[in-house]
Amino acid sequence: MNKILKFSTASLLAINGFNIQADTLSDVQTRGSLNCGVSTGLAGFSSVNKQRKWVGLDVDFCRAVAAATLGNSEKVKYIPLTAKERFTALQSGEIDVLARTTTWTLTRDASLGLNFAGVNYYDGQGFMVMKSLGVKDASQLNGATFCVNKGTTTELNLADYAKEKGFKYKISATDTIEQSKSNFETGRCDVLTTDQSRLYALRTTLKKPSSAIVLPNVISKEPLGPVVRQNDEKWFNIVSWTLNAMITAEELGVTSKTVDKPSKNAEVNRLLGKTGLLGEYLGLDKKWSYNIIKQVGNYSESFERHIGVNTPINITRGLNALWKDGGILYSPPLR
């Protein structure tokens, strides 16, 4: 009898404790800031600039969530995390949302107690080699040593690709992408393999960026997106629709510079909270999406500001163009 009572009491406390932790929106608003997990430093996505300010595509997403929930995009505490640390930090409640070039997979979505809230960058694994190696295509990499980052999907993708192509290879695995880059520069491996966007970013930080090339081959699907804990539907909806609001704003041609202009477009007015109850449905005020666009911008503004063709990263929109422009990016309707 005592054992049953002890079990029941412990179970009740665990359930009640979980429910308290599950209201992430209240935690964020009470704290007055958003704890956002980002990379330890990846140019174009999340890194610290010369002014000691966090910038990048993922950083902008953190700012957008803060704008939606707190009305101020600057109310963010950035928590730099390695690939190995990122999921534990989210599971433990150290961070409220993870925005760290993280690939959406079934295993991660179904076995870690986490939910992916969308895709903010469609990517694929690629290869970077030194020009002096004379390699032009991944089919020429038989017998090569590959630098990879532990705790990522990279190793499995590489193993699958090598098996399919029938070539042998060696692995040089490190805990951080910075270590992998260092090993690549010093010749401890022949190839650096990771998401292609990351390769373009890393190339800009080499001592001699022109000494390396990113091969044209893409060997995997890497949908990268923000992640939240399960069992908090309100927070999941907020994070998901924050991304959708940025995409929808681009679709409708609403930018940070035009957001204050009057419009007769019904979709625009719903998006900006002038009509409808979208904010109320999310548990936010009616200016939630206005604040996102005004303070951070639409998806295109963020993309072009940090990784577009006029930046050192120099990435074209490709798959990340809107559906009507030849890409696969679109938002469910905001209505």
Percent of the chain with pLDDT over 70: 94
- Mean pLDDT value across the chain: 92
The answer to whether the beta carbons of residues 280 and 81 sit under 8 Å apart is no
- At residue 149, the pLDDT reads 87
User: pTM of the predicted model, to two decimals?
Assistant: 0.88
- At residue 153, the pLDDT reads 85
- At residue 267, the pLDDT reads 97
Secondary structure string (H, E, C) spanning 113-128: CEEECCCCEEECEEEE
189 HSE (CA, 13 A, CB side): 24
| pLDDT of 168 over the 80 cut | yes
Q: Rounded CA gap, 120 and 25, in Å?
A: 21
Q: What is the pLDDT of residues 75-126, one digit of tens each?
A: 999 999 998 899 999 999 999 999 999 999 999 999 999 999 999 999 999 9
| pLDDT of 152 over the 90 cut | no
> Nearest to residue 101, comparing CAs of 173, 145, 41, 51?
41
Point out which residues pair with 171 in neighbouring strands: 146
Mean pLDDT value of segment 171-188 = 92
Q: Rounded CA gap, 109 and 213, in Å?
A: 33
- At residue 300, the pLDDT reads 98
Mean pLDDT value of segment 245-266 = 98
- At residue 22, the pLDDT reads 77
Percent of the chain with pLDDT over 90: 89
Q: What is the pLDDT of residues 7-63, one digit of tens each?
A: 333 333 333 444 444 799 999 999 999 999 999 999 999 999 999 999 999 999 999
The contacts of residue 179 (CB under 8 Å, 6+ apart) are none
Of the two residues 321 and 21, the one the predictor is more confident about is 321
Token couple for 153: 């999907």
- At residue 16, the pLDDT reads 41
Token couple for 271: 């998006």
Of the two residues 200 and 5, the one the predictor is more confident about is 200
- At residue 102, the pLDDT reads 95
Instruction: Say which residue the tokens 């534990």 belong to.
Output: 88
Q: Rounded CA gap, 105 and 246, in Å?
A: 23
Q: Rounded CA gap, 185 and 293, in Å?
A: 40
Q: What is the pLDDT of residues 193-241, one digit of tens each?
A: 999 999 999 999 999 999 999 999 999 999 999 999 999 999 999 999 9
